[in-house]
Amino acid sequence: MTLEKPKKRGRPAQLLQVAELHGFVEFLLEKDPRTELQNQVIDVLQTGGCNFEMLSEAQQILVKEALKPYREHIKLKLLFDELSILAKPTEYETKFIELFQAYQNKELDLAETNILKTMCTRYYRFKAQQLQLKDLELYLSQIQKKDAREKRKAENHRKFELGGAVLAAFKELGIDISQDTPEQIKNRIQNTKKFHDDVIKSKIYQEVKSYKNGYFERNKLFHQVLEGLNTWKKEGELLSVIEIKKALVKNQE
């Protein structure tokens, strides 16, 4: 009696559509920079004419692995296209649209991208199971609270960094501000900025500016001109002293 070999059981090998693989290649070609895996997949698919069945087993595994992020992207894109044409999207739908647009512009970090993906999954589940709108609204409120916490955290970190920068600047300038109040330090910075702006607007500085383009070169030349003008005298009196007296008289008028 001849025994027949048992037929292999299990799920048939997954067949990937040629159109999908063409779209996948175009998606990868637009990426900059690309990973080594993505470059390998492009070579494999372009060489094989995007025919999945013609690839070796190792190549098929490679393509399947690289295809996962692309399918996630398509899933997000399809939902975005669906929601974008709604006349009156809900708050949840509006939030998804905003996140996806930021995702397209590469403005999302990893945590925000994961939120976008979760929102997409929950929305499809909501539609499939006909859940109540309050389930989506609850998740949206959790996202909004997290966003607010992240913004406060970022603002506090920014303030800490700026405070450190101000302390470092005064230290490098050799200015002791250990006894100054925050208000006094703020006033000192504002007054310095105002004085700097007044100097730049002066006629002498503007004249110097026509001779030098570089900021630091102009400042050096400006200082040299002021020092030079102070060497000139009129009837035995320095020009700087004459101008000081004129200004004092003018200010008293």
Asked if 25 and 46 touch (Cβ cutoff 8 Å), the reply is yes
186 is a domain residue = no
Sign of the torsion formed by the C-alpha atoms of 118, 124, 129 and 131: positive
SS3 44: helix
- Examine the domain organization and report whether 61 and 130 are in the same domain: yes
211 is a domain residue = yes
- Examine the domain organization and report whether 119 and 204 are in the same domain: no
- Examine the domain organization and report whether 30 and 132 are in the same domain: yes
Asked if 97 and 111 touch (Cβ cutoff 8 Å), the reply is no
pLDDT at site 101:
93
129 is a domain residue = yes
Q: Which of 137, 165, 187 is the last residue of a domain?
A: 137
Checking if the pLDDT of 203 tops 80, the result is yes
Q: How high does pLDDT run on average in the chain? A: 80
The total of structural domains in the chain comes to 2
> Dihedral (C-alpha) 65, 66, 72, 73: value to the nearest 10 degrees?
180
pLDDT: is 192 or 3 the higher one?
192
Asked if 167 and 182 touch (Cβ cutoff 8 Å), the reply is no
Q: How far apart are the first and last CA of the chain?
A: 128
Asked if 95 and 143 touch (Cβ cutoff 8 Å), the reply is yes
DSSP string, 185-197: HHHHHHHHHHHHH
- Show the beta-strand stretches assigned E in the chain: 233-234, 237-238
| pTM of the complete model | 0.50
pLDDT at site 132:
59
pLDDT confidence band for 97 (50 / 70 / 90): very high
Q: Which of 91, 116, 137 is the last residue of a domain?
A: 137
Asked if 79 and 120 touch (Cβ cutoff 8 Å), the reply is yes
46 is a domain residue = yes
For range 91-99, the mean pLDDT: 87
pLDDT at site 100:
92
pLDDT per residue over 4-57, tens digit each?
444 444 444 455 677 888 888 888 888 878 788 888 888 888 887 787 878 888
- Examine the domain organization and report whether 48 and 131 are in the same domain: yes
144 is a domain residue = no
pLDDT at site 133:
64
Q: Return the exposure string of 110-133: e unless at least 16 CB atoms fall within 10 Å of the residue's CB, then b.
A: eebeebbbebbebbeebeeeeeee
Residue 92 belongs to domain spanning: 18-137
Location of structure tokens 């603002």:
155
For range 121-126, the mean pLDDT: 83
pLDDT confidence band for 205 (50 / 70 / 90): confident
Minimal CA–CA distance to 75: which of 41, 29, 119, 19? 119
pLDDT at site 76:
92
